[in-house]
Amino acid sequence: MTPSRNTSALTSPNEWQPRSDAKTLTVGISSTALFDLSVSNAIYQKEGLEAYRRYQISQEDTSLEPGGGFYLVEKLLNINKIWNEPRVEILLLSRNSADTGLRVFNSIKAHELDITRAAFCGGDSPYRYIRAFNCDLFLSTNADDVRQALAQNIAAATLLGRTRPTKESAEGLLKIAFDGDSVLFSDEAERVYQQRGLEAFSESELDQANESLAGGPFKAFLAALHRLQQEFPEGQSPIRTALVTARGAPAHERVIRTLRDWDIRLDESLFLGGMDKTEFLRAFEADIFFDDQATHCDRAAEHIPTGHVPHGITNVDQSAKKE
């Protein structure tokens, strides 16, 4: 609940490797991403921390409404109903204190979400506990916390807007869509495009078609999803993934060969050649979409839950323009 710290590192090491130990897919989520805390946060912004604390305590028995990440969490937890032991764990990582966070835990219970672990950080950022919890993914509405997580080589995204599917959709497939460059892959190709233009980008990708791209911040999370999918018989996985990229031919080949080299399968791959992604994401019925470019995210967030990944050259350039 305190003002965010300014963080600097938007780019990260060249390679992001999947965890090789646990079978459990672990997702950390902030309280403001899980529930709609807009009313209480408005009180904090207008009247201060003590007024916020009094309000949260007075409303402890009033359940919070779902936030932007609620139905994604619900679908993830539904996967556990298939096995005798959990394959997915959701962790609550919050800037609240335990005192003000009691309403959040009461809401978790009221909504029958199987979440038992949490870190309440009393106004500080919870990012330092993300690695300790072995998180594969961190979702928050606080961009600074997300950048801190990315700097630790953890897949992380800022949830935008309050677009939510209907509750009934929680019973269906979990559908996750990813952008390619600067998300699944490093920003090496995006740098060529930004600095030298489309023609140079196409020539570079054609020349390097047999050279795998380095992994981006979401490579490890995709690998974890892929391992989970492989535990199901073919055609019976409750998870479906898609690559939705502005790339088109001839830049498609390097992507396909990279994923083959990683031994990671995506269920669907859309090479749009610069077309707007929004209608394709709606057709895929994505439960969440991850992209590094704010303009793509803003358009998509009007229709589906969207996570902005503040990584790579596009975000470095935008940060420089704001300074």
Q: Which residues participate in catalysis according to the annotation?
A: 179
Please tell me what DSSP assigns to residue 82: G
Determine how β-strand 306-308 pairs with β-strand 155-160. antiparallel
**Residue 88: CB partners within 8 Å, gap ≥ 6?**
24, 25, 26, 27, 76, 77, 79, 80, 228
| Under 8 Å between Cβ of 146 and 50 | no
What are φ and ψ of residue 122, in 5° steps? 55, 45
- For 188-248, give the DSSP string: HHHHHHHHH-HHHHHHHHHHTTTSPPPB-TTHHHHHHHHHHHTTSPTT--SEEEEEEES--
Write the burial class of residue 58 (CB in 10 Å: 0-12 exposed, 13-18 middle, 19+ buried). exposed
